[in-house]
A and B are shown apart, each in its own frame.
Chain A
């Protein structure tokens, strides 16, 4: 079945927790700058939504997730990986508020609707505390993150 979008670029994270909002800030920057995109590519600010992202994810052949990633590098380090390369440990849930992106992918897998490829572009955070501003080390990586995203399209 043909999907609605060839690529969904999905920024996730909480903008109320400074660097945790990196993914959303990248999407906002792409929208503000009107970065030219092919017509079959779409941007989405996914915020902290969990299962609510099932529909938009299922509608794309490929998903590029922009997220905050703790990989041990210095603040602002950028990572790129395919979610199939990643052995994410599944944590048991006690609240719906713990649903993360990978559980959404698992659920879509069970429904046979997981997109063919899900790539994560991630940035190492410096500060995850209440506040709307990105730390300077993370904010200055927005341009490079956009380059990495465009290379995925």
Chain B
């Protein structure tokens, strides 16, 4: 007899990822991931000026405005065949680099760590670090809400390791904030990066900015090298079973990012490429022409899988009732496929396509393959790869070098690629007389969290969930660990405050 579990994280916001699994004999037998927010950005953009797209698309995400702005600008540069100046390339690499550091640190310390680190261990702390003692007093007062996981978790670390992790969490927040200061130097008006216009960047570099950037990068490097990576390595041995859980589809795709002066996609710091059938030593070239988005199980009209440049966004919603079913539409996400295959995107995909020696050696040492643990390790090691490269890019900046390539709007078609911290991102634009005729985005979580395709083949996250052991179906922490390892993103509409008590709400009303 099988049992269905739904992890439906937040009901008070508009968009989220709904995960449903069927459990039989203590293991996930089947899984359905469903994105519940309709992304109709394409409809908003139609007929607008092409050069305004980056401003609008940045708003589609509160976590990744930078990669969206980047992909949008690059789509126009591709359509108009613009050549970036070297300074523009370097500044963009640095902006995106700080975004990686930020996102990877926050993801690990603020989100993933709670799955593995028992914060309540701080109750046994006896030292005199004021922040740890602050948290200790919160625990003593029973006010542990920010740190309390929603399920009972099988924590396995020794007390001291737990305490060390909590101390690092506080420190990570400070490193995160310092990286944001650096982004404000380069990105202009925060939090939306205002400097990444089609044609280059609008930053005026000064010697002070450059020396400040060096300081910020070194600070981040120090934390990643001496805290973040050692902590991941210290935690991993206690959770080695997760080196075999959440394996996924075995296909990986990276458009790659951080170009060098040649602008060759294969020579980027994180290169472009694809891997199939778990053959991780065999990296092949990746080509956008092989991408098609399926809508057979997505709430859009039509049945034909289309290349993103010619994609359509015509909603057609029909509730799936209590459970998502194979033969029906059950997600607002489309199902992108490469050469007909589901592809995992994200740090693990990028580091495998890069054939990163650090990751491959670690995987061998721990005897793990693509898995929950491998994704977490890849994210930490990638933060180091990027931070180390950033120091080189700063030294290449030319103080008086041009940062912008002028252009006249006309007509064309373009693809803009970027690697958001959570995976491959592409924007696709058709421009007629300077105005947008079609605009499509293929975002990381569509790749990872998309539904089944026209052939009924599961999406990567769905596939990764199959086989996951679930000890107690009422406490599906194992499911959460698998899902979170992908660092899913779903559109942002998170600010609506719901005053749940109507009497109190009435008291607050002023007009």
Contacts and interface: CB of A to CB of B under 8 A. Distances in A.
B434 to A, nearest CB: 20
Contact of A71 (B131, B493, B505): B505
13 contacts: A12-B495, A16-B60, A17-B14, A48-B494, A48-B495, A49-B65, A49-B191, A55-B181, A70-B496, A90-B145, A95-B489, A125-B496, A144-B511
Contact of B41 (A44, A90, A100, A130): A130
Interface in B142-170: 145-146, 148-150, 170
Given A78-B511, A144-B511, A46 B483 contact: no
A148 B511 CA distance: 10
A94 B185 CA distance: 31
Interface residues of A, number: 66
A53 B191 contact: yes
B390 interface: no
Interface string A112-150: 100000001010010010111000000001001000100
Contacts of A90: 145-146
A72 B131 contact: no
A141 B511 contact: yes
A97 B146 contact: no
Contacts of A67: 495-497
B493 A48 contact: yes
A39 interface: no
A125 B493 CA distance: 13
A5 interface: no
A96 interface: yes
A152 B135 CA distance: 32
A7 B236 CA distance: 45
A47 B111 contact: no
Interface in B77-115: 102-103, 106-107, 110-111
A7 to B, nearest CB: 18
A15 interface: yes
Contacts of B490: 95, 97
Interface in B39-86: 39-41, 43-44, 56, 58-63, 65
B12 interface: yes
Contacts of B511: 77-78, 141, 144, 148
A79 B505 CA distance: 8
Contact of B506 (A45, A48, A56, A71): A71
B509 A47 contact: no
B493 A14 contact: yes
Contacts of B488: 94-95, 97
Contacts of B141: none
Interface in B2-19: 7, 9-10, 12-14, 16-17
Given A48-B495, A50-B63, A92 B9 contact: yes
Contacts of A125: 496
B493 A130 contact: no
B239 interface: no
B480 A79 contact: no
Given A20-B495, A55-B177, A73-B509, A110 B500 contact: no
Given A54-B180, A132-B44, A110 B131 contact: yes
Given A47-B192, A91-B12, A97 B44 contact: no
A1 interface: no
Contacts of B407: none
Nearest to B181: A55
A23 to B, nearest CB: 7
Given A15-B59, A79-B505, A132-B44, A20 B496 contact: yes
A128 B111 contact: no
B493 A128 contact: yes
Interface string B196-214: 0000000000000000000
